[in-house]
Amino acid sequence: MKKLTSRQNEVLGFIKEYLSEHRYPPTIREIASFFSISVKGAYDHVKALEKKGHLRSGSSKSRALEIISNEESRDEEVLDIPILGNVAAGIPLFAEENLEGHVKIPASQLSRGEHFALQVKGDSMQNAGILDGDTAIFLKTETALNGDIIVARINDEAVTLKRFFREKNRIKLKSENPVYPPIYTQNVRILGKLQHLIRNYE
């Protein structure tokens, strides 16, 4: 496990004590109240503890925090996610749906379900923090909510990475770069929803 800051240790200690006393975890708001910090500040501490392998929050419920033991952390499942080619974050490209290798991701960082990875090409999603050369991990799904970042096939040909919006009689696929106009279509098939990014700084 990664080393914790003093405040992260305090937050983790409070969660453990609360669990011991109440038999259920505190809410983010209760953590914020105990430390006299903002709800966002408490949320950020919890997310940091999750990232460092000390907590797990596997649901959207308000009391879903779980303490991860040292044994669990050492034995954490690592998934081999297949890399299936490229996806455009700019002008749509054809996806090369052939296996190009695998990338290893801790299971705790992904939702349950089937996943796949694509190499990002282009800069149309740069304002969402998705850059050319990133490896994007997707949850395989055919549905999405407005605002989700998805990979989709357009007109049974081009595959692109965009933000999804359902309008009255069409789908809008929005870039996160003002240089690129939105794509409007009625023929789109969602392939996956963005879950995780990997970036190589070399």
Give the active site residues. 124, 162
CA dihedral 2, 19, 78, 58 (to 10 degrees): -120
Cβ-in-10-Å burial (0-12, 13-18, 19+) of 23 comes to exposed
Q: Cα separation of 33 and 27, whole Å?
A: 10
- Which stretches does DSSP call E strand in 13-98? 55-57, 65-67, 78-88
Cβ-in-10-Å burial (0-12, 13-18, 19+) of 28 comes to buried
Residue 38 φ then ψ, to 5°: -70, 160
